[in-house]
Chains A and B, each alone.
Chain A
Amino acid sequence: MNYKWNWGILFEVSPEGKGTYLEMLLSGLMWTLTTAFFAWMIALLLGVTIGVLRTLPSRTGRLVGNAYVEIFRNIPLLVQLFLWYFVVPELVPEHIGDWLKQLPNAAFYNGVLGVGLFMSARVAEQVRTGIESLPVGQRMASTALGMTTAQTYRYVLMPMVVRIIFPPLTSELLNTIKNTSVALTIGLMELTARARSMQEFSFQVFEAFTVATLLYLFTNMIVTILMRRLEKSIAVPGYLGTSANVVVH
């Protein structure tokens, strides 16, 4: 290979004028993590709501929940981001559309919204599976005790579900972090985008991508370790979790 390695490039000042290339990549990591954090909040909030909706006795509720999940699962994330970023501002009334287009950090808001909604469908699927995996008797017993549906979910079903679906949710969290990279297509300067622009400025392709790769692996490791700890601390004694989730993507 006649590629000229130059690791010193990381400590040279980037043409963006805000510090070295390494600092540029690290600020990309910060954007990745910030976007992922807010997207994950949306995913959890909507995912749990929709997941619960799909297990309620109401037929309309189930129908709405299923439609939601199928729509967000069967359109590629990239296309969904384009819909939020390019299409929605054109469809709403003009003054709102203009406001949306001139919003500072529009890529960030759209990235959070797009990735968040995309992931919420996957969280909803996990929540539904979790609720359905509980013995029917628990729901019946709660009804027999005179609990309302809301009370049954709040005090009987959900406390178990949260613990059961914790391991698959950890991989969905990791997917959220990875998926924020797709938002580079709408101009979010997250980690992969920064590595790409470092390559364009400096031509040191492999240094840029190696550092980005290491940062992703490191983030992955930290999140996994933290979630394992949390998982252990909330585990129900004597109850085996469903950690054997094969397809995590």
Chain B
Amino acid sequence: MFSNFDFDVIARSWPYLFKEGMSFTLMLTGLATGAGIVLGTILALMRLSKFVVLQKFAATYVNIIRSLPLVLVIFWFYFLLPYIGQWVLGSERPMAVGAFMSALVTFSLFEAAYFSEIMRAGIQAVPRGQFAAAQALGMRYHQVMGYIVLPQAFRAMTPLLLTQSIILFQDTSLVYVLSLTDFLGAASKVAQRDGRLVEMYIFAALVYFVISFGASMLVKRLQAKIAVR
């Protein structure tokens, strides 16, 4: 079955696959995770705030995003961002948004909805008495959140946040629909150029599996460590 396999194609395209493809994938994953957690935390704080308008806004945003397929959202932002850029800058023509920028904004805003659900659970898990005690000590809202509540929420939710970022890592393969050169994009371009679909897609699956499985094992370990204390 493997007799007419050409494993050499992988060796030949190694620099392209990893230096261009994988670094794009990892960069997108890293930046979108960072931005997604920041935005998600802000959304969670809005949802738990006492202002009804903020609550409603955050809830609507999260529910709509979570009801839509990522592919559709990728297309939405790809076409919408140039117009938003034009509106913000007040320029005459729609702004040219780079493909990486477009993908980064999309994934940050999309994953923020999922991260916000995790952070909301984390914040709610901090006993209410701590909030009250901090206020009794004369702390302001940002102090209570910044020094007391959020550090605990982050710590408790770290495994879930990391698991979500592994999902994000896998989801970045969907930039394929914009013909970007992420890891899968690079693999598929080589596959089509050299007519080696079988080798390249099996190899891509293997690489994704090793990284995701390895990362999830690490998260499991971390979880066990946190649980003991």
Residues 183 to 203 of chain B near chain A (Cβ within 8 Å)? 184, 188, 197-198, 201-202
What is the chain B residue whose CB lies nearest that of A179? Answer: B69
- Whether a CB of chain A sits under 8 angstroms from the CB of B80 is yes
- Contact A86 B117, CB 8 Å, known A1-B83, A195-B72: no
- The size bracket of the interface on B is 35 or more
Q: What chain B residues lie within 8 Å of A244 (beta carbons)?
A: 121
- Whether a CB of chain B sits under 8 angstroms from the CB of A13 is no
Contact between B160 and A246, CB atoms less than 8 A apart: yes
- Whether a CB of chain A sits under 8 angstroms from the CB of B136 is no
- Whether a CB of chain B sits under 8 angstroms from the CB of A132 is no
- Whether a CB of chain A sits under 8 angstroms from the CB of B213 is yes
- Provide the B151-189 mask, 1 if CB < 8 A to any CB of A, else 0: 000000000100110010011011011000000100010
Interface-central residue, A70, A74, A196, A220, by most chain B CB under 10 Å: A74
- Contact A205 B79, CB 8 Å, known A74-B212, A247-B160: yes
Contact between B176 and A192, CB atoms less than 8 A apart: no
Q: What chain B residues lie within 8 Å of A82 (beta carbons)?
A: 188, 197, 201, 204
Contact between B118 and A246, CB atoms less than 8 A apart: yes
Contact between A90 and B75, CB atoms less than 8 A apart: no
Contact between A86 and B209, CB atoms less than 8 A apart: no
Q: What chain B residues lie within 8 Å of A178 (beta carbons)?
A: 67-70
> In the complex, A2→B167 CA distance in Å?
37
Residues 191 to 217 of chain A near chain B (Cβ within 8 Å)? 191-192, 195-196, 199, 205-206, 209, 212-213, 216-217
Residues 65 to 109 of chain B near chain A (Cβ within 8 Å)? 66-72, 75-76, 79-80, 83, 86-87, 94
- Whether a CB of chain A sits under 8 angstroms from the CB of B18 is no
- Interface stretch, picked from A45-53, A98-106, A147-155, A181-189, is A181-189
- Contact A217 B64, CB 8 Å, known A75-B212, A83-B202, A247-B164: yes
> In the complex, A91→B197 CA distance in Å?
11
Residues 53 to 96 of chain A near chain B (Cβ within 8 Å)? 70-71, 73-80, 82-83, 86-87, 90-91
Contact between B114 and A249, CB atoms less than 8 A apart: yes
- Contact A79 B205, CB 8 Å, known A86-B197, A91-B1, A220-B67: yes
> In the complex, A212→B74 CA distance in Å?
13
Shortest distance between the CB of A115 and any CB in chain B (Å) = 11
Contact between A195 and B208, CB atoms less than 8 A apart: no
> In the complex, A182→B71 CA distance in Å?
7
One of B66, B72, B75, B201 near A87 (C-beta < 8 A) = B201
Q: What chain B residues lie within 8 Å of A239 (beta carbons)?
A: none
One of A1, A73, A79, A179 near B173 (C-beta < 8 A) = A79
- Whether a CB of chain A sits under 8 angstroms from the CB of B223 is no
Contact between A216 and B198, CB atoms less than 8 A apart: no
Query: Count of A-B contacts with CB under 8 A?
Result: 119
- Whether a CB of chain A sits under 8 angstroms from the CB of B55 is no
- Whether a CB of chain A sits under 8 angstroms from the CB of B23 is no
- The size bracket of the interface on A is 35 or more
Contact between B69 and A216, CB atoms less than 8 A apart: yes
Contact between A79 and B197, CB atoms less than 8 A apart: no
> In the complex, A185→B185 CA distance in Å?
12
Shortest distance between the CB of A191 and any CB in chain B (Å) = 8
Q: What chain A residues lie within 8 Å of B1 (beta carbons)?
A: 91
- The 3 A-B residue pairs with the shortest CB-CB distance, nearest first, are A181-B69, A74-B212, A76-B170
Chain B residues proximal to chain A, CB less than 8 Å: 1, 64, 66-72, 75-76, 79-80, 83, 86-87, 94, 114, 117-118, 121, 160, 163-164, 167, 170-171, 173-174, 176-177, 184, 188, 197-198, 201-202, 204-205, 208-209, 212-213, 216
A-B contacts besides A73-B212, A247-B118, 17 pairs, CB < 8 Å: A75-B205, A76-B171, A79-B204, A82-B201, A83-B202, A83-B205, A86-B198, A174-B67, A185-B176, A192-B69, A199-B75, A206-B79, A209-B72, A209-B79, A213-B72, A247-B117, A249-B114
Can you list 28 pairs linking A and B with CB atoms under 8 Å apart? A1-B86, A70-B213, A73-B212, A75-B208, A76-B170, A76-B174, A76-B208, A78-B174, A79-B173, A79-B201, A79-B208, A83-B201, A83-B202, A83-B205, A86-B197, A86-B201, A87-B202, A91-B198, A174-B67, A178-B67, A184-B71, A196-B75, A206-B79, A212-B72, A217-B67, A247-B118, A249-B164, A249-B167
